[in-house]
Amino acid sequence: MIPVAHAAPGTTAVPAIEIRALCKNFGENEVLKGIDFHVDQGEVVCVIGPSGSGKSTLLRCVNRLEEPTSGTVMVEGIDITDRETDLDDVRTRIGMVFQQFNLFPHLSVLKNLTLAQQRAKKRGRAEAVEVARRNLAKVGLSEKADAFPAQLSGGQQQRVAIARALSMDPDMMLFDEPTSALDPELVGDVLEVMKQLAREGMTMMVVTHEMGFAREVGDRVVFMDGGVVVEQGRPDDVLGDPQHERTKLFLSKVL
Amino acid sequence: MKRSTRRRLTQGVLYAIFAAVILFVLLSADWGRIQPYFFNVDVARAAFPEILTIAAKNTIVYTAIAFVGGMLFGLLLALMKLSPVLPYRWLATGYIELFRGLPALLVIFGFAFAVPIAFQWQAPGGSVGAGLIGLIVVSAAYIAETIRAGIEAVPKGQVEAARSLGMGSTWTLVTVVLPQAFRIITPPLTNELVILIKDTSLLFIAGMAIGDRELTTFARDSLTNSANATPLVVAALLYLVITLPLTQLVAKLERHNKRGR
């Protein structure tokens, strides 16, 4: 375990996420071709791009669910590709929300939220339950504490998944296409929870196809294609006045 | 002809065939001759209470020991087979292939006689204990493959979710993967258990004291003593008395677990 230098709130000296020259190959297939990328503390960055562009892989490299082939990934100044880094400790500070929710189907909603608190954060049961109930209330699902995931709609499951990640009191949240597996009428509730998080100043990296969300909530939009960052900037600039042909082509298809 | 009428007619024919076959078997059996040798009330009565207090009890005890032992050892083997360490995988694969390929009877015999001689080793529980170790060794090989399949059937996203929350690999395995894996493999594990109940009858090869006998051995001894096969029929019925409620219980358990899936 190495000592962790926590940046004081408000300082932007240490970026929440800083990625340099990141490459990722799956066998012969080069998915990321030298990505430079950062997310400042308190910033909401939306990553967009066609499927297969490498945006989900980039996100999954941040908490090392994917092992980078080369390059560095720094989270709050800690090199997570360093073998000496306590990865589990860093991961408790990075909340992650998956496209397929990945709730634990054999556990009640409340247990889904308390399990990692007790096992990874070593919180007592009473404290874990209190934190869990607070976060369930936050996503508007207090009454579902004793339900099982299979009894919830997709939108409710995803909100539980967000509450589960928040229960670890993370410094930042990663969203991997959080609304792509949802029926259209359920997307709104999930986006509303995410907007509230953004308003509270949560650092967020969001891989998404929701251009409306990116425009409204994002501080910055990053467009990826073919394993590289093609362009990035303020949402209105990238989405409203794209500079690159590939960006224009993509936006013409999705908007 | 109306569709519903035709369906009723087909079903009626099927029922009639079924009843005819049963009737034919019952009528063609020579009940007069089979009754005194296989369904002799006096001989059956003489088997009690020992067939319950010794034989059925031992069958259940041996099954429980072999199943618990097989599960623990099988889990270890399954984890070895999924280990990133190559020699562990080789070892587990070699073990599983070896003991699935050998008749349980030979393995039990080996553990009861060959192993004690080779290693100057006395099994706890005497020769039956040694035989039980042989049974555990065999059942572990089958159970290991079942557990491995169960672990691999748990979606990868489950592990990713647990790990992304900062849970270590051991806690992830114990609290997230294994509970789901065991739910998935409840039906095949029940199967292993039922097979094991019947395989305890192979323990006779290890040699048994009077009080160690399980159902089949007990019934065979009675058969020899009374020159009458009725004890075998009683033993057969007792096997069913043990297995049928068990499979019903597991089916109920399975329905209960469905709510969490």
Asked if the model's pLDDT at residue A51 lies above 80, the reply is: yes
> Which residues of chain B are within 8 Å of residue A168 when distances are taken between CB atoms?
165-166
- The whole-angstrom distance between B76's CA and the closest CA on chain A is 23
Instruction: Name the residue facing A148 among B160, B166, B260 (closest C-beta).
Output: B260
Q: Do B165 and A148 touch (CB under 8 A)?
A: no
Per-residue pLDDT, B210: 86
Measuring CA to CA, which residue among A130, A92, A140 is closest to residue A110?
A130
CB contact under 8 A, A91 and B261: no
Closest CA to A111 of A144, A82, A145, A81: A145
B27 falls within a domain: no
Q: Are the Cβ atoms of A116 and B166 closer than 8 angstroms?
A: yes
User: Is there a domain that residue B31 lies in?
Assistant: no
Q: Which residues from B are below 8 Å from A166, CB to CB? A: none
Question: How distant is the Cα of B157 from the closest Cα of chain A, in angstroms?
Answer: 6
The reply to whether B5 falls in a domain is no
Beta strands at A172-176 and A94-97: parallel, antiparallel or unpaired = parallel
Q: How far is CA A107 from CA A112, A210, B92, B161, in A?
A: 6, 31, 31, 14
Domain annotation covers residue B85: yes
pLDDT digits (tens, 9 = 90+) for A93-133: 999 999 999 999 999 999 999 999 999 999 999 999 999 99
> In B, residues 149-168, which contact A (CB 8 Å cutoff)?
155, 157-158, 160-168
Question: Which tokens in the block code for residue B61?
Answer: 């005890």
Give me the domain span that covers residue B84.
40-260
User: Which of A94, A95, A92, A96 shows the shortest CA–CA distance to A121?
Assistant: A92
The span from the first CA to the last CA of chain B, in angstroms, equals 45
Radius of gyration, CA atoms only, chain A: 18
Q: Does any domain span residue B144?
A: yes
Which of residues B256 and A9 earns the better pLDDT score? Answer: B256
Cβ-based neighbour number of residue B247 at 10 Å: 14
Give the nearest partner residue to A150 out of B155, B176, B261, using CB atoms.
Answer: B261
What ipTM was assigned to the predicted interfaces of this complex? Answer: 0.91
Residues A201-238 have pLDDT tens digits of 999 999 999 999 999 999 999 999 999 999 999 999 99
Partner residue opposite A102 with nearest CB, options B158, B167, B168? B158
pLDDT at B32: 85
Residue B228 covered by a domain? yes
What's the pLDDT at B260? Answer: 54
A166, closest residue in chain B (CA to CA): B165
Does any domain span residue B208? yes
- Intervals of chain B under pLDDT 50: none
| B4 within domain boundaries | no
CB contacts < 8 A (A, B): 74
Instruction: Read off the tokens for A46.
Output: 């939306």
Query: Closest by alpha carbon to A17, among A70, A67, A58?
Result: A58
Residues in B touching A94 (Cβ below 8 Å): 164
Pairwise CB contact (< 8 Å): A94 & B164: yes
Average pLDDT, chain A: 92
CA of B260, closest CA in chain A: separation in Å? 5
- For residue B124, the domain's CATH number is 1.10.3720.10
Partners of A195 in the β-ladder: none
User: What average pLDDT score do residues A152-169 get?
Assistant: 96
Tally of structural domains, chain B: 1
Q: What angle do CA A181, A185, A162 make, to 5 degrees?
A: 55
Residue A2: pLDDT above 70? no
